[in-house]
Amino acid sequence: MNIYDFKLIIFDLDGVIVDTAKYHYLAWKELADTLGFDFTHEHNERLKGVSRTRSLEILLEVGGLTDAFSQEEKEKMAVAKNKRYVEYISTLTSDDILPGASKFLQKLRAVGIKTAIGSASKNAPEILERLGITDLFDIIIDGNSTQKAKPNPEVFELSAQRLDIASEQCAVFEDAQAGIDAALAAGMTAIAVGSPEVLYGASMYVRGVGCVAN
Ligand code: B16
Ligand code: MG
């Protein structure tokens, strides 16, 4: 596979362009602490690429509290977690962009390949602004512009539709199984950022997006 044969490259955000998973973890852990149970890094792996609402459900399941709260209480918890998360991401700068990502994006754009963000996060615009790379994307599709969470293909299909590019001409970089499944469901080529031991079904595996820049 030659990455430069594609017309659109879609990038997941957390885990592909920037490591915000550590901040999601800290914010969710604080919530678990207030609820009185331990939330480990291993538990946090289950939240990668998953929507905020679904993440809260998983967290409550970990704590054995699945049916313990009303919808209103759960909404308050999600708001409180997000408030802490937004505080954490306010410290992000261009130094937090994962190695080689900026260079790769610039190279793609220089040869006329379109670039997009396809993220579950509702905080994606703010994160991209803080990293200073908003302008490196032709389109940003995130948790604000989608109705259905990954593994539903909507987040990736929207970019291709809006840029009028056929799905077979799109490749998606993803670090989460839900995202790889979404890319495949969209009829796109999935490139996994991570190991084939934990991520299944991708056409190619890389340690980071910077590894494919040449
Ligand atoms: P927010 P991605 C995802 O980002 C994260 O991996 C996931 O852990 C998070 O729950 C989700 O965004 C929603 O984020 O609470 O900021 O809306 O990997 O799809 O870029
Ligand atoms: Mg991700």
Has residue 1 got a pLDDT over 90?
no
* pTM tops 0.85, yes or no: yes
Q: Which of 55, 56, 62, 48 is nearest to 15 (CA)?
A: 48
Residues in CB range of 108: below 8 A, 6 or more apart = 4, 9, 115
Verify whether residue 14 is a known catalytic residue.
yes
pLDDT tens profile 84-124: 999 999 999 999 999 999 999 999 999 999 999 999 999 99
Q: Residues 152-168: what's their mean pLDDT? A: 98
Alpha helices in 63-100 (DSSP H): 71-89
The pLDDT of residue 214 is above 90: no
213 pLDDT exceeds 80? no
Instruction: Report which bound ligand comes closest to the CA of 142.
Output: 1
Each residue's pLDDT tens digit, 8-55: 999 999 999 999 999 999 999 999 999 999 999 999 999 998 999 999
Spacing of C-alpha 151 from chain mean position: 12
Burial of 42 (0-12, 13-18, 19+ CB in 10 A): exposed
- Per-residue tokens: 68: 């313990």
Ligand 1 site, residue 123, Cβ cutoff 6 A: yes
Residue 79 has pLDDT above 90, yes or no: yes
Which of the ligands is closest to the CA of residue 50?
1
Classify residue 96 by burial, with Cβ atoms within 10 Å: 0-12, 13-18, 19+.
Answer: middle
Helix, strand or coil for residue 214?
coil
For the segment 47-76, what is each residue's pLDDT rounded down to a tens digit? 998 999 999 999 999 999 999 999 999 999
What percentage of the chain carries pLDDT values higher than 90?
96
Among residues 12, 142, 175, 181, which one is catalytic? 12
Q: How far is the CA of 29 from the centre of ligand 2 (A)?
A: 19
Q: Is 115 exposed, middle or buried (0-12, 13-18, 19+ CB in 10 A)?
A: buried
